[in-house]
Amino acid sequence: EVNPPVQDLTMDQILADYQDVVNENLGSHFEGVLKDAFGKKYSTYKDYVTNYQWDLGEVNDNNEVQHAKLTFLLENNNNATLYVYNVDFNTPVGINNLKDSLTLSNTTATYSQAYSFGYDASIQGTRTELVNAILQNAITDGFDYQNAEVIFKENSASTDSQLGTIRRFMLIVKNESGIRQISFDIQSADSDSALINKIASGKYAFGSEDLVEYTNLLDQYVAVENENA
């Protein structure tokens, strides 16, 4: 008796019908990836990892994930620094293997630190009225900041061609959909209430960047949260 050939599934079918298995298979590789990333420091750093996400990327003509990617967030409480790391897997992975016998080649993976943000832990949770005023004016696209964790710091005063002397604030906003960085310049003033008035009168400028965007299975992503979080 000849067994029929194994039918190649599409990415949509994998994510629709086998998402729990895919999550489990990908999750089983996470510890090994962290060990390769941190080496002898693994036992210390593993507990600082709060979230991670697999990006299954594009499918090539051979029905393989051409370039799987892992992004993970590490919050080192000892030095009050948040890090974002990327791990790029350069060996293609067959679609069917995502649910059957998944093996990721760590030996060909590329590890990189994509971002770091140092802050003063002792001031977090203070200056809430000013921080809220910044968030209200910097986030207008529905990104949920009211239920987010917000980390902020103030950089040294500097000069802007439009605003003159400015106070620059940097914020990290983390919620269930991702992590956003905000750089917010306010025309200089001597108190938080005066800075809020400056914001109300339009004496500010800002920029923002999505550092990590947690997406869903329908977008060909598998998002997994670490139980240590």
User: How far apart are alpha carbons 180 and 208 in whole angstroms?
Assistant: 7
Predicted pLDDT at 133: 98
Give me the tens of pLDDT residue by residue for the chain, a chain 229 residues long: 554 444 677 878 887 788 888 888 888 888 888 888 888 888 888 888 887 888 887 888 888 888 888 888 888 888 899 999 988 988 888 888 888 877 777 667 889 998 999 999 999 999 999 999 999 999 999 999 999 999 999 998 999 999 999 999 999 999 888 889 999 999 999 999 999 999 999 999 999 988 877 654 323 334 444 333 3
Which residues are CB-contacts of 125 (< 8 A; sequence separation ≥ 6)? none
Predicted pLDDT at 214: 64
Helices in the chain by DSSP H: which ranges?
Answer: 11-17, 19-28, 30-38, 42-45, 128-138, 192-200
Contact 58, 32 (CB under 8 A): no
Predicted pLDDT at 177: 80
- Bridge partner list, 205: 185
Amino acid making up residue 115:
Y
- Buried b or exposed e, range 184-210, using 16+ CB within 10 angstroms: bbbbbbeebeebbebbeeebbebebee
Predicted pLDDT at 216: 41
Predicted pLDDT at 44: 87
- Buried b or exposed e, range 51-84, using 16+ CB within 10 angstroms: bbbbbbbebeeeebbbbbbbbbbbbeeeebebbb
Structural tokens at position 93: 């992975």
User: How far apart are alpha carbons 140 and 226 in whole angstroms?
Assistant: 29
